[in-house]
Structure 1
Amino acid sequence: MAIKLFISFLALSLLCSPTLQLPEKKPNIILILADDMGYSDIGCYGSEIKTPNLDDLAKNGLRMPQFYNASRCCPTRASLLTGLFQHQAGVGDMVNTRPQPAYQGYLNQHCVTLAEALKESGYKTYMAGKWHVGTKPEHWPTKRGFDRYFGLIDGAGSYFDNSSYRPNQKLTIALDDQEYTPEKGYYATNAYTDHALDFIEQNPKDKPFFLYLAFTAPHWPLHALPEDIANYKTAYRKGWDQLREERFERMKTMGILAKDTRLSPRDNKIPAWDSLTEEQKQSWEDKMAVYAAMIDRMDQNIGRIRQKLKASGQDQNTVILFLSDNGASHENITTDGFLPQIYESSKKPASDPSSFTAYGMRGANLSNTPFRLYKHWEFEGGTATPFIAYGPSIVQPGKVDPRPGHITDIMVTCLDLAGGTYPKVYKGNDITPTEGISLVPVFRGKSWKGHEALFFEHEGNRAVRQGDWKLVSDYPSNQWQLYNLKTDRTELQDMAGKEPKRVKEMEALYTSWSKRAGVIPYGELTKK
């Protein structure tokens, strides 16, 4: 009897102990991905573009200014969804099919998606937006763990319909596992959010949900709504030189950049703003107004999601993660690979709804302030992403944490939040171990071991970051450059000649990783 009384007293003491908390309700998780958005394109990362909802998430959450993606759309999505490097997941390059397993162009069966993994922890799983990791119906989101889906299966397209822009191309918008024809008045950014809101509304009250909201904004073509464009009609008259300086100064004030950071010079392929004709200036101002409007509208729709959470009483139990899939895009609409009528429409003003244009290098250089180069390369301009994490009682508010994180961390972070485990086997298939490390300690402001090194490869462009040092090369030169990111975040002073031993050691790390991940040197890959 005494023993029973002691056990009862001990149990009661533990329950009443202030250091022991009863299990909390599993949080909803919303992962928001922008498409081709530059590092400094939102207000809380220095932009003049109005993004009050993202700014509020940052103010009451966490920014990690040294967070990394995979420098290109589908490789990043494959890595983000699986917690693996893109080669391990089967999307080592793009979605073009190749016989090599690491480059097959769709997610393989030796990875699990966030949706598949979180379903094992009792989550309902939803997606709205761009998929781009498998175009055949057997590879669509509903075949990879998502209970509901609405969005663009492919990589890019008009925001107003699903018309094709390349020869012999068919673009697919889908609702669940069926093709969907856009209705009159369709605008992609709004439509993705409309369906995401429906999914949240339909979610069972006793189930936590995971929502992957993958906007196509602000990927080309530059398509925006007139009422949003009007708000930026005169916003870019200062020109790219002054606007880069202004963003740069704001970023230092915010703590996104160290005070001693140097702004990279204007890309040498871009002329000084003052050397342009009035017609050239007006063309760029128009493109930037539309580009800004696309981001503004994305932010408005993020606000709609937040309003829904608040109205349903779920705002205090939802974690929201936001990032971009790569650096800003320098690409233009050309005669190479685009339909003739699409190329002709690229000559129209961007504010014309019938246009199909891009803002090119001149816009991307501003978007990627303070870095050089763009999407596709492994320099900071290609891989640095404006990461935000928000979650009441989970994420410490108002912090800027400079510790480096990576898209592979998202999988294990979500499982950590969900109280789940990463599977060794799924549907009878051995699963490649995740490469990520949970960010929850970072969210809580605690110590975090981080990564021994971070690795990057895309179409022959390579990089490895170890501590403050980054070794990087571009294809086809294949010459290693070395930068100390603590003192030179914008990669302006190559230290390779002064640190040959470090170059050799970091190259060895890269070589070992590339073999383990299944990387095939790009020159060899394209010959096969």
Structure 2
Amino acid sequence: MLKVKAISLLILVTIGLQSLAQKSVPKKQPNIVLILADDMGFSDIGSFGSTTQTPVLDKMAAEGLKMTNFYNASRCCPTRASLMTGLFQHQAGVGDMMNTRPQPAYQGYLNKECVTIAEALKAGGYATFMTGKWHLGQAKENWPTRRGFDQYFGLIDGANSYFENRPYRPNQKLSIVLNEEEYKTGKGYYSTNAYTDFAIKFIEEKRQPNQPFFLYMAFQAPHWPLHALPEDIAKYKGKFMKGWDVLRQERFEKQKQMGVISQDQTLSPRAAELPDWNSLTQKEKEDWDDKMAVYAAMIDKMDQNIGKLKAKLKELGEEENTVFMFLSDNGGSNETINNTGFTPQIIASSKMDASNPQSFTAYGYQGANVSNTPFRSFKHWEYEGGTATPFIAYGPKWIKPQLNHQPAHIIDVMNTCLELANVSYPTTYNGQQITPTRGKSLVPMFQERKWKGHDALFFEHEGNRALRAGNWKLVSEYPANQWQLYNLSSDRAELNNLAAKYSDRVKTMAKKYDKWASKTGVIPFAELDKKRPQDKF
């Protein structure tokens, strides 16, 4: 009997030791592919409401994590700074745009007190690649290859033609570069295709055998100018002649059916700047349809290229060990090509049909209002239309299929990448003390474990401010600076201002915002605006 007990005890101890050993052995480090769209609205891909053909992203959303309350920083530069560093943009040195200011939080390029995801993962043994739009410092010492990326191809600046290197502002020097050398675009160049082709080239040729890689693929699409290839435009010609009111309603109904928004939510009214569709002339309707066909084609081509990358990884035997994350840097943009700051040639090009490759135009309020369905407002402001992004994470080995409505933020991407890679966030880097990250890893959510999330999320851009705590959101726009309060559980379109009814809540949340702003380095925009430099898009 004693012998049987001894054997049983030995078996239990052995099993326990084996279990402990298995837990202590880290999983193989996954490849991580972070994909960023540019100026794409909340409803612009199929799995979030549109009829644009995005089968690759839609399949990833269906088989992975689809988040409906994910947030960016409402504009290109700030989002990229925050996304790359796990900090709020002011802490990383890009509190506004890529302008040169004397204030450290607004210097216009990444500071030395932050590390990028690439720098952190490179220290953990990863090959690090980037293609696409950088927009985090024009001087060479601030380029991607100086911030942790082994290889880079793309656009240093904020916008450009998709077909050629074409300055759009007076005295502007645009930079399309391969690593640190200017790249001459040739016949047949289309940036969305080129970014993917170089990404594949880097993965195939520029890493050690079996080395995990981090790829940051920051597409220009669908940022202005509206540029697409004829075969893609042809799919969408005539598809937008129903007009913006009908299209917004259709997207809204689809979003409710898919569970992207709850059944009791309300669609925001048509933007005040827009007339009734039926008041337009036939020519005006056709012009808008042309713009929207090009815009949809740009997103379609981006999806095709994500599929091309995914197919290549499968061919290389890497797909199963790769985690993909997809999001947009801000909501749809109401910006237009006007007489302020653009060259005469660009102004002339803005009047051409969007489907003409020589054009240089944008879809303005008309398109952005559709893109941001069901929300109000646009890129630049801190309403949901400026800050809400579709978010998809996919990787069958790592992520369980689910639809998640918890609020999360771009500051969480850094911690997520590090936990996936089993790499620690550094306290120092190159002898410099590093600002502690502000994000929380999404990995527990990936695995459908409990995720505590944030007590509050904060936003500030050029005086526009917001705080989200639970389902409550405090928001104001510059220069009015009047706090508004919304309950997002029933009013994500931010239509019913409850500030007067819940004045004590406003005061409590405003104090929390002020404390965050002071700690984070936010400067009241009226002070910065006194000597405001030209924005660099």
Where does residue 490 of structure 1 map in the other structure?
Answer: 493
For residues 157 and 302 of structure 2, the distance between their equivalents in structure 1, rounded to whole angstroms, comes to: 19
Tell me the equivalent position of 2:173.
Answer: 170
Instruction: Give the aligned partner of residue 336 of structure 2.
Output: 332
Task: Report the counterpart of residue 3 of structure 2 in structure 1.
Answer: none
CA distance in 2, matches of 1:484, 1:16: 47
Alignment of 1:94-493 (within 5 A): 94-202=97-205, 203-397=207-401, 399-493=402-496
Render the CA deviation track for 1:471-496: whole Å, top value 9, x for unaligned: 00000000000000011111110000
C-alpha deviation, 1:388, in angstroms? 0.4
Q: Structure 1 residues 16 and 455 mapped into 2: Cα distance closer, same or farther (>3 Å)? A: closer
Contact 1:165-1:342 within 8 A present in 2 as well: yes
**CA–CA distance in 2 between the matches of 1:188 and 1:67?**
27
Alpha-carbon distance change, 429 to 279 in structure 1, aligned in 2, over 3 angstroms: same
CA shift in 2, pair 1:400/1:334, >3 Å: same
- Distance in 2 (CA, whole Å) between partners of 1:472 and 1:17 is 49
Distance 1:360 1:141 in 2: 31
The Cα shift of 1:14 comes to 2.7
Q: Which amino acid letter does the alignment assign opposite residue 441 of structure 1?
A: P
> 1-side partners of 2:312 and 2:88: how far apart?
34
Please report the TM-score for the alignment, with normalisation by the length of structure 2.
0.96
Kept after mapping to 1: 8 A contact 2:135/2:157: yes
2:534 matched residue in structure 1: none
Q: Which residue of 2 aligns with 1:64?
A: 67
Equivalent residues of 1:29, 1:209 under 8 A apart: yes
Q: For residues 396-444 of structure 1, give each alpha carbon's deviation from its aligned partner in whole angstroms, at most 9, with x where no partner exists.
A: 11x1100000000000000000001111100000000001000011111
Residue 518 in structure 1 maps to residue 500 in structure 2: no
Alignment counterpart, residue 49 of structure 2, candidates 46, 51, 69:
46
* Contact kept? 2:81, 2:110, Cα under 8 Å: yes
Distance 1:14 1:32 in 2: 41
Residue 450 of structure 1 aligns with an amino acid whose one-letter code is G
* Alpha-carbon separation, structure 1, partners of 2:296 and 2:219: 15
Q: Distance in 1 between matches of 2:16 and 2:469?
A: 47
Q: 2:45 aligned with 1:29, yes or no? A: no
The alpha carbon displacement at 1:184 in A equals 1.3
Q: Partners in 2 of 1:337 and 1:437 — Cα distance?
A: 40
Structure 2 distance, partners of 1:84, 1:18, is: 35
**How far does residue 394 in structure 1 lie from its aligned partner after superposition?**
1.3
**In the alignment, what sits opposite 1:85?**
88
- Provide the secondary structure at the position in 1 that maps to 2:234: helix
**Partner amino acid for 1:115?**
A
Distance in 2 separating the partners of 1:22 and 1:136: 43
Q: What amino acid sits opposite 1:289 in the alignment?
A: A
Q: Which amino acid aligns with 1:346?
A: S
- Offset at 1:22? 4.4
Whichever residue aligns with residue 207 of structure 1, its letter is: Q
- How high is the sequence identity, in percent, across the aligned residues? 63
One-letter code of the match for 1:66? N
SS of corresponding position for 1:446: coil
1:360 is matched by which residue type in structure 2? G
Once the two structures are superposed, what CA deviation does each residue of 1:254-278 show, in whole Å capped at 9, x if it has no partner? 1100011100010111011111110
Given that 1:14 and 1:20 are in contact with CA atoms closer than 8 Å, whether structure 2 keeps it comes out as no
Q: Structure 1 residues 517, 330: CA separation in 2 closer, same or farther (over 3 Å shift)?
A: same
Preserved contact between residue 464 and residue 510 of structure 1 (Cα < 8 Å): yes
Structure 2: give runs of 5+ residues left out of the alignment.
1-5, 532-537
Cα offset for 1:7?
9.3
TM-score (norm 1): 0.97
Alpha-carbon distance, 1:9 to partner:
8.3
Structure 1 residue 18: Cα displacement: 11
1:17 Cα deviation after fit: 7.7
- Deviation digits for residues 458-479 of structure 1, max 9, x if unmatched? 0000000111100000000000
Deviation track 1:296-319 (CA, whole Å, cap 9, x = no partner) reads 000000000100111111111100
Distance in 2 (alpha carbons) for counterparts of 1:21 and 1:422: 20
- How much has 1:234 moved relative to structure 2? 1.6
Render the CA deviation track for 1:2-42: whole Å, top value 9, x for unaligned. Answer: x9xx9998456532689848432110000000000010000
Amino acid in the other structure paired with 1:305: L
User: What RMSD in Å do the two structures reach over aligned CA positions?
Assistant: 1.6
Between the two proteins, the alignment pairs up a number of residues equal to: 524
CA gap 1:7/1:174 in 2 versus in 1, 3 angstroms: farther
What is the CA distance between 1:204 and its match in structure 2?
2.1
Q: Deviations over 1:204-241 (max 9, x none)?
A: 22210000000000000000000000000121111111
The superposition leaves residues 28-81 of structure 1 with CA deviations (integer Å, 9 ceiling, x where unpaired) of 000000000010000000111000000011011011110000000000000000
1:200 positional shift: 1.2
